[in-house]
């Protein structure tokens, strides 16, 4: 079963009908460390994406439908990580049977939701890149028709990824091993006959999710940067034309300002492209390794009792944390390259408090150092 989802760690069991099958080992300290890091990142991710949703839905002057939907997906990704990993670890550590049963009994639904979210994220990024391209080409993206069209794309995308991933409800189930200690007896497993039935479909979908979406995202961003460069050259030629050279000082200043704005857009587009693609590539690198192992060298990752080997679990956890990390840091990308979002974030009372109280302290400290040097 292709494991593009972060919810298929060592709680996932392949063949539960094997003779004398049991998988009751405690979670390793290394895996606990990964889960702790991922849980902390997820808490921050929920906070940051909650802030983005608050800004996008009620504070911005222009509409950001794709960015709003992406923030919602990132919030869900982080919340699902907390539910499936953080709460499960707490329930096992503090022997809370009610919390343990709640998390494990809802694990199939959480797995399906995570697969839907992870499939939707790259194509939302692609749609966002396509929107940037239409803006560069001069189309009006603020009209009511354009807004309805983008909302329609989001609805169509949501319905499509849900239909493609809803089969997980029939593929997975919770297996309970009575031979294990109470807080290690439930595992996420799969119906082998259903897995075989959906193998080709899952392989094709994983290929599109892992490779095709990344290629499309790279292509769209390259085209966006290229179009911005063409606009920049056109603006420069216009500003250095004989008519401009013999025009008034005000006109020359205005032309120079346009050039600076175009250069700034190019730099921001290039940096944003590098950050988004690098984060997405880092996430999918682990998925590519896992997918390759599961497809071509499955015996390398399977234990004799049907469970996964430790290195496979470690790679899965690294991929999980990278996914959460990329969803958490997106607010800083907006803060860096979107002037309107940056202004709205700085106007929030907590951020404004930090800016007004921390910066003066740093300034006073520097002044004292200067006086001391004198």
How does pLDDT run across 139-182, given as a tens digit for each residue?
A: 666 677 788 899 999 999 999 999 999 998 988 988 888 888 88
Of 4-8, 59-63, 110-114, the least confident: 4-8
Q: Where are the alpha helices (DSSP H) in the chain?
A: 29-58, 65-81, 87-93, 97-105, 107-136, 144-165, 168-171, 192-197, 199-207, 213-239, 242-245, 249-296, 310-328, 330-337, 339-347, 349-373
Strands 172-176, 12-13: parallel, antiparallel or unpaired by DSSP? unpaired
In a domain, 30, yes or no: yes
pLDDT digits (tens, 9 = 90+) for 339-354: 778 888 888 887 777 7
pLDDT digits (tens, 9 = 90+) for 279-312: 776 667 777 777 777 777 777 887 776 667 778 8
Give the separation between CA 112 and CA 4, rounded to whole angstroms: 12
SS3 20: coil
Question: Sorting pLDDT into bands at 50, 70 and 90, what band is 248?
Answer: low
Mean confidence (pLDDT) of the chain: 77
Contact, 37 vs 15, CB < 8 A?
no
Q: Over pLDDT 90: what percentage of the chain? A: 21
In a domain, 6, yes or no: no
Question: Sorting pLDDT into bands at 50, 70 and 90, what band is 240?
Answer: low
Average pLDDT score over residue span 87-115 = 91
pLDDT of residue 204: 87
Q: Is the pLDDT of residue 91 over 80?
A: yes
Return the higher-pLDDT residue of 255 and 59: 59
Q: Is the pLDDT of residue 126 over 50?
A: yes
What CA dihedral angle connects 242, 247, 253 and 254, to 10 degrees? Answer: -90
In a domain, 233, yes or no: yes
Average pLDDT score over residue span 68-93 = 92
SS3 162: helix
Give the separation between CA 117 and CA 76, rounded to whole angstroms: 7
Phi, psi values for residue 154, rounded to 5°: -65, -45
Contact, 120 vs 158, CB < 8 A?
yes
Contact, 66 vs 127, CB < 8 A?
yes
pLDDT of residue 141: 66
SS3 351: helix
Q: What is the distance between the terminal CA atoms of the chain, rounded to a whole angstrom? A: 69
Global confidence as pTM: 0.79
> Which residues make beta-bridge pairs with 187?
175
In a domain, 159, yes or no: yes
How many structural domains does the chain have?
A: 1
Domain ranges, residue 347: 26-242+265-353
Residue 132, token pair as written in the block? 């940037």
In a domain, 51, yes or no: yes
Question: Sorting pLDDT into bands at 50, 70 and 90, what band is 267?
Answer: low
pLDDT of residue 92: 87
In a domain, 192, yes or no: yes
CA 225 to chain centre: 22
Give the torsion sign (CA, 38, 44, 48, 53): positive
Average pLDDT score over residue span 114-123 = 92
Of 88-97, 217-226, 238-247, 340-349, the least confident: 238-247
Question: Sorting pLDDT into bands at 50, 70 and 90, what band is 9?
Answer: very low
CB atoms within 10 A of CB 101: 15
In a domain, 41, yes or no: yes
Of 44-58, 66-80, 299-313, the least confident: 299-313
Q: Over pLDDT 70: what percentage of the chain? A: 71
Return the higher-pLDDT residue of 64 and 249: 64
Contact, 72 vs 53, CB < 8 A?
yes
Contact, 210 vs 4, CB < 8 A?
yes
Question: Sorting pLDDT into bands at 50, 70 and 90, what band is 2?
Answer: very low
Average pLDDT score over residue span 44-71 = 89
Of 69-73, 141-145, 190-194, the least confident: 141-145
Average pLDDT score over residue span 208-237 = 74
pLDDT of residue 306: 65
Contact, 39 vs 89, CB < 8 A?
yes
In a domain, 363, yes or no: no
Average pLDDT score over residue span 13-26 = 44
Give the separation between CA 173 and CA 156, rounded to whole angstroms: 29
Return the higher-pLDDT residue of 31 and 328: 328
For the domain that residue 114 is a member of, what is the CATH number? Answer: 1.20.1070.10
Contact, 4 vs 209, CB < 8 A?
yes
Average pLDDT score over residue span 47-71 = 88
Contact, 42 vs 321, CB < 8 A?
no
Average pLDDT score over residue span 215-239 = 71
Strands 186-190, 172-176: parallel, antiparallel or unpaired by DSSP? antiparallel
Question: Sorting pLDDT into bands at 50, 70 and 90, what band is 39?
Answer: very high
Reduced 3-state DSSP string for 211-264:
HHHHHHHHHHHHHHHHHHHHHHHHHHHHHCCHHHHCCCHHHHHHHHHHHHHHHH
């Amino acid at each position: 079963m292709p494991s593009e989802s972060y919810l298929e760690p060592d709680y996932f069991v392949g063949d539960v009908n094997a003779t004398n099958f049991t998988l009751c080992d405690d979670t390793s300290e290394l895996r606990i460390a990964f889960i702790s890091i991922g849980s902390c990142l997820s808490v921050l991710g929920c906070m940051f994406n909650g802030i983005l949703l608050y800004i996008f839905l009620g504070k911005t002057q222009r509409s950001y439908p794709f960015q709003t939907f992406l923030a919602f997906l990132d919030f869900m990704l982080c919340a699902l990580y907390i539910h499936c990993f953080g709460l499960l670890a707490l329930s096992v550590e503090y022997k809370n049977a009610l919390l343990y049963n709640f998390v494990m009994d809802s694990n199939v639904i959480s797995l399906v939701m995570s697969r839907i979210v992870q499939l939707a994220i790259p194509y939302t990024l692609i749609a966002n890149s396509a929107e940037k391209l239409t803006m560069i080409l001069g189309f009006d993206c603020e009209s009511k028709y354009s807004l309805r069209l983008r909302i329609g794309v989001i609805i169509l995308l949501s319905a499509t990824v849900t239909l493609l991933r809803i089969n997980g409800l029939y593929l997975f189930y919770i297996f309970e091993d009575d031979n294990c200690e109470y807080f290690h007896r439930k595992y996420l497993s799969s119906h082998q006959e259903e897995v075989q039935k959906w193998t080709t479909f899952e392989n094709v979908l994983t290929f599109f999710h892992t490779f095709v979406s990344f290629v499309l995202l790279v292509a769209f961003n390259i085209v966006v940067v290229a179009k911005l460069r063409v606009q920049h050259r056109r603006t420069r030629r216009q500003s250095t034309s004989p008519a401009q050279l013999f025009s008034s000082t005000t006109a020359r200043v205005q032309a120079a300002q346009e050039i600076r704005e175009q250069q700034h857009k190019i730099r921001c587009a290039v940096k944003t492209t590098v950050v988004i693609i690098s984060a997405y590539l880092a996430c999918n690198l682990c998925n590519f390794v896992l997918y390759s192992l599961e497809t071509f060298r499955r015996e390398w990752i399977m234990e004799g009792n049907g469970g996964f080997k430790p290195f496979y679990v470690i790679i899965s956890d690294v991929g999980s944390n990278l996914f959460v990390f990329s969803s958490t840091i997106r607010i800083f990308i907006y803060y860096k390259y979107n002037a309107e979002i940056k202004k709205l974030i700085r106007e929030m009372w907590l951020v404004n408090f930090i800016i007004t109280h921390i910066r003066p302290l740093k300034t006073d400290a520097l002044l004292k150092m200067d006086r001391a040097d004198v």
